[in-house]
């Protein structure tokens, strides 16, 4: 049992005992002493209830967080089944939406790194030097997918030393 529950039961027992004993008191001074004692017990009890309330609030909030986490986990378990591992020309990997599963969404790929962490992160097309690439904006992974064909000596105006990823 939690500490505050034991404390609260102890406080109630003490207050009841004091109240019972007051019935037999003969003088005002004796009554005053018992009232002071009773107030002390009641203050202690109030403190126990405040801690109990704080603990209850914290636990309720923790349960809500965990429930949200479980829901998110279940959604991801369903969502991840829509994708399968795909290997690009360069040998790099991403999770590609299954042909029968994309519905009205355009075909797209998910970051394999984020997928393993249980997060859906859609890769965005870009270029990296002489390669077409996919960029994950969550973990900054850059996945080269295929070499851009060399169009010959006339192709000199584009500076391919710079990454074209945003």
Nearest approach in angstroms of CB 99 to Zn ion is 23
Residues engaged in binding Zn ion (CB under 5 A): 111, 113-114, 121, 136, 138-139, 141
Question: Among all chains, which residue has been given the structure tokens 């077409």?
Answer: 132
Nearest approach in angstroms of CB 116 to Zn ion is 9
Nearest approach in angstroms of CB 59 to Zn ion is 34
Nearer to Zn ion, 34 or 86 (CB): 86
Of 75, 82, 7, 84, which is closest to residue 43 (Cα–Cα)?
A: 7
Nearest approach in angstroms of CB 51 to Zn ion is 43
Cβ(131)–Cβ(145) below 8 Å: yes
- Crossing angle of helices 28-79 and 3-22, rounded to 10°: 160
Nearer to Zn ion, 132 or 135 (CB): 135
Nearer to Zn ion, 8 or 112 (CB): 112
Nearer to Zn ion, 57 or 117 (CB): 117
Task: Indicate the SS3 state at residue 86.
Answer: strand
Nearest approach in angstroms of CB 89 to Zn ion is 20
d(CA 120, CA 133): 18
What ranges in 26-103 are assigned the alpha helix state H?
A: 28-79
Nearer to Zn ion, 90 or 113 (CB): 113
d(CA 23, CA 20): 6
Instruction: Report which DSSP code applies to 138.
Output: T
């Amino acid at each position: 049992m939690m500490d505050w529950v034991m404390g609260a039961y102890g406080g109630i027992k003490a207050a009841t005992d004091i109240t019972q004993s007051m019935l037999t008191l003969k003088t005002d001074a004796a009554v005053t002493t018992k009232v002071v004692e009773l107030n002390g017990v009641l203050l202690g009890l109030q403190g126990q209830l405040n801690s109990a309330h704080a603990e209850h609030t914290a636990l309720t909030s923790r349960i809500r967080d965990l429930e949200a986490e479980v829901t998110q986990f279940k959604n991801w378990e369903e969502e991840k089944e829509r994708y399968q591992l795909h290997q690009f020309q360069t040998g790099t990997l991403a999770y590609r939406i299954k042909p029968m599963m994309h519905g009205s969404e355009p075909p797209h790929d998910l970051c394999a790194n984020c997928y393993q962490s249980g997060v859906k992160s859609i890769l965005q097309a870009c270029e990296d030097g002489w390669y077409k690439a996919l960029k994950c904006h969550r973990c900054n992974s850059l996945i080269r997918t295929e070499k851009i064909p060399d169009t010959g000596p006339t192709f000199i105006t584009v500076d391919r030393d710079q990454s074209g990823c945003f």
